Amino acid sequence: MGKLRTRARKAGAAFALLLAGAAAGWSAAALLPHDAAAAAAAGLLAAAAGAAGWAANAVIRRKARPRGADGLRPDEPEEPEQPKHPEQPNGREHAALGSAEAAPSGEEPPASEPVASGGGSSRMPGGAEPLAAELRLALEVQRKWQPPVDLRLGPCRVTARSRQAAEVGGDLFDAVVLDDAVVAVLIGDVPGKGLQAAFMVPALLLLFRSEVKRGGGPAELLGRMNRVLAGLSAEGLTAVGVTLGIGLLDVQAGEMRYAGAGHPAPYLAMPGAEPRQLDSSSLPLGMNAEENYRETVFRFAPGERFVLYTDGIIEDAGPDGEMYGFDRLEAELADWAADVPAADWMERLLDSQESREAYRRDDRTLLIVEYTAGKAGRRTELRERSWRVPSVPGCERSVAAELAAMLREHWSESGRTDDIVTCVAEAVMNAAEHGNGFDETKTVTIQAHFGHAIMVCRVRDEGPGFDFAARLAGGRAEVDNEYGRGWGLRLIDELTDYWMTTRDQHGFCVEMYFLSHHRQS
Amino acid sequence: MNSMLELNIVPFDAGLSVTLKGDLDQQAEQKIRSVLDWEDGLGEGRRYLILNLHEVNFINSAGMALLIRIARAGRKKGFHTFVCGASAHYQKLFRMVGLTEYVMLYPDDYAALQRIEALESGV
């Protein structure tokens, strides 16, 4: 028991350190040269593959011990040095979260409880509580890495919803605005759940965000990410790979370039018409370093929807074992009325699957791009605003006042007006003072985008950026004249739901996300 | 757009009541420092300072830093600082940055004065 506890603690500590490193690396990626950021992501992926396997093996060894007549394992004094049971060959079986009890072999846990992925009924063994605690922490970290997506930019809207089968799931999704004219969307599925997914998902998101800013089309992006993953030679990866779909949307032209790597083919859907599936066949990432990926290019028709999903949607099984299947999804897409927002449609579909009360083995994720240009009555829903102010003391006040008025008019039900205005004012003040050094010839650019449930605000300056982790970690200056300096960043960290920094050829950018409290309630 | 800070100072038996009007930000620092040398105390043995923020519409981190420096000076010079009239949002921010370690928050002047009377009478 002692050795298991030690191992579990070590695994948990390594895991937490890695995630903490990953979180730091994410922000550091904005400051690093792109190659260095990609290298950091690759390092994280390599560590993820190794460490996840190591920690999972410790759990699997413990799980393999014989059970007593009551189905529970005897309290063994020491963890054996050698595993008593062969390890899972493909790395898809991992520790479940949140339970320190052993379940009788073959008994499936209820859907509401945390479960393990793969075909077994693995549960967290007794004595691995520290690991479970660290995994719960990992869940929080992973949620931070995957902020909710409800993004409006010009005539386009991107919305994503995901529900996990295990507490730390293997689905990933993202939407990144590039130069305010292109939106990059990502959907994917890593092998396994639990510990391995907790490692892999943030690392892949870091790799994606790093690579997408280096430029190139989606096929090229997949190629670069594939070479990183294939280079790891991790057994779990080469066996099943990582499925990904990447789309780059030119917002003004309404043109989408999409490429998939072993991911279920997306749909294009118009209200009142049969949806059509785009052809996108290729190997998942990580299986063959030489794989070439193919792009599909199309132009949106007004009102058209581009629907990405993970296999958990299709393979979701009912109580009788019957899969949800493509036919039902296509029927739902065909029946999707023009006036039903994507978020509502997705929630309804996910709810309807859950109403079947089946044991759920896989995460289910949907990401939808809507294009509304030219559609009467819809464009007025889009809300966005930008400002450009010279870097002078007090420049944040005019932005704050106008933003407050706009929020009170259009987003008052969110309950976030004061938080948003405070954060934006602090970010603008920092940008003018620290980023641009109060140089009046340099400007601070502010962009605000509203969705139904989320607001995203970007504040960009022309400076070199800063290391926010170091700033946040720094203690208070005890000198009276300096006391209280640096609190702006602390307020941003406290008041936003999610924030990050990026840097590109135009300068440094603080990106802040706010969820509507109205929607949350 | 910036609303310059105005201060109205009213002495009372044991302290000073200062009503602030306008924006409390870095531009307000000079104005606040010009009315009193806070590091030297409130003068004439006064032991209580009430800062009424009821007419302050905007406070940023620099403004909060100003408040906390005044309150820290008070701790060194032996006067207590009461802040009243701050909105729920700013009260939340004051707690976030630790200002409430140095000041006491009250809804209005009257409540602050009641507390001061209690302190004076040894309650």
Query: Could you report the predicted ipTM of this complex, rounded to two decimals?
Result: 0.85
The reported pTM is 0.48
In tens, the pLDDT along A214-233 reads: 888 999 999 999 998 888 76
* Average pLDDT, integer, range B114-120: 87
A205 close to A145: Cβ distance less than 8 angstroms: yes
Contact A396 B60 (CB under 8 A): yes
Low-confidence ranges of chain A (pLDDT < 70): 1-132, 134-136, 138-148, 166-169, 180, 193-195, 233-239, 373-382, 467-485, 518-521
Q: At what angle do helices A194-212 and A129-145 cross, to 10 degrees?
A: 30
Q: What is residue A302's predicted lDDT score, i.e. its pLDDT?
A: 85
pLDDT in the model for residue A512:
92
**Cβ contact B60–A401 (<8 Å):** no
Chain A residues whose CB is inside 8 A of the B26 CB are 393-394, 429
Q: Taking 50 as the threshold, does the pLDDT of residue B109 lie above it?
A: yes
Q: State the sign of the Cα–Cα–Cα–Cα dihedral A74, A79, A81, A84.
A: positive
d(C-alpha A496, C-alpha A493), whole Å: 6
Residue of A nearest to B28 (CA): A394
Those of residues 314-343 in A touching chain B at CB distance below 8 A are none
pLDDT at residue A469, as a whole number:
63
Segment 298-317 of chain A within 8 Å of chain B by CB: none
Contact: B60, A422; criterion CB under 8 Å: yes
- Residue ranges of domains in chain A: 2-140, 146-371, 382-520
Residue B66 lies in a domain: yes
Residue B50 has pLDDT above 90, yes or no: yes
Contact A484 B97 (CB under 8 A): yes
- The answer to whether B96 contacts A425, with C-beta atoms less than 8 Å apart, is no
Rounded distance, CA A217 to CA A205, Å? 17
B27 Cβ under 8 Å from any chain A Cβ: yes
Distance of CA A417 to the CA centre of its chain: 25
8 A C-beta contact, residue A214 and residue A225: no
pLDDT for the residue A142: 65
Q: Does A394 touch chain B (CB under 8 A)?
A: yes
Indicate the helix (H) or strand (E) that contains A319. Answer: none
- CATH annotation of A146-371: 3.60.40.10
Minimum-distance CB partner of A485 among B60, B65, B87? B65
Give residue A460's pLDDT: 92
d(CA A168, CA A118): 14
Residue A475: closest C-alpha in chain B: B97
Instruction: Report B:100-119 residues touching A (Cβ under 8 A).
Output: none
Q: Write the DSSP symbol of residue A262.
A: B
Picking from A201, A200, A160, the residue whose alpha carbon sits closest to that of residue A183 is A160
In chain A, which residue's Cα lies nearest the Cα of B66?
A484
> Which of B25, B33, B60 is the mutation pick for testing A, counting most A CBs within 10 A?
B60
A483 vs B contacts (CB less than 8 Å) = 65, 68-69, 72
Q: Report which residue type is found at B5.
A: L
Subunit contact A483:B96, Cβ cutoff 8 A = no
Domain A382-520 grouped into CATH 3.90.260.10? no
Does the beta-carbon distance from A426 to B60 stay under 8 Å?
yes
Q: What are residue A186's phi and psi, to 5 degrees?
A: -135, 140
pLDDT for position A431: 92
- A contacts of B72 (beta carbons < 8 Å): 480, 483
Domain that holds residue B84: 6-120
Q: Which residue carries 């493909």 as its tokens? A: A90
The verdict on residue B1 lying in a domain is no
Contact A429 B73 (CB under 8 A): no
CB A93 within 8 A of CB A60: yes
Residue-wise pLDDT for A103-154, tens only, equals: 333 333 333 333 333 333 333 344 455 666 766 676 666 666 666 688 887 7
A487: chain B residues, CB-CB within 8 Å: 61, 64-65, 97
- Assess contact for A204 and A56: CB atoms under 8 A: no
Site from A426, A491, A514 to mutate, B interface, most B CB atoms within 10 angstroms: A491
Distance from CA of B91 to the nearest CA of A (A): 12
Confidence of residue B21 (pLDDT cuts 50, 70, 90): very high
Structural domains in chain B (count): 1
User: Between chains, do B1 and A398 touch, taking CB under 8 Å as contact?
Assistant: yes
CATH number of the domain enclosing B23: 3.30.750.24
| d(C-alpha B23, C-alpha B9), whole Å | 17
Select the residue of A401, A480, A487 nearest B61 (Cβ to Cβ): A487
A407 to chain B, any CB pair closer than 8 A? The answer is no
Q: How far apart are CA B48 and CA A72, in angstroms?
A: 67
Flag whether residue A459 sits within 8 Å of chain B, measured between CB atoms.
no
Q: Is residue A493 less than 8 Å (CB to CB) from chain B? A: no
Minimum distance, in Å, between the CA of residue A493 and any CA atom of chain B:
10
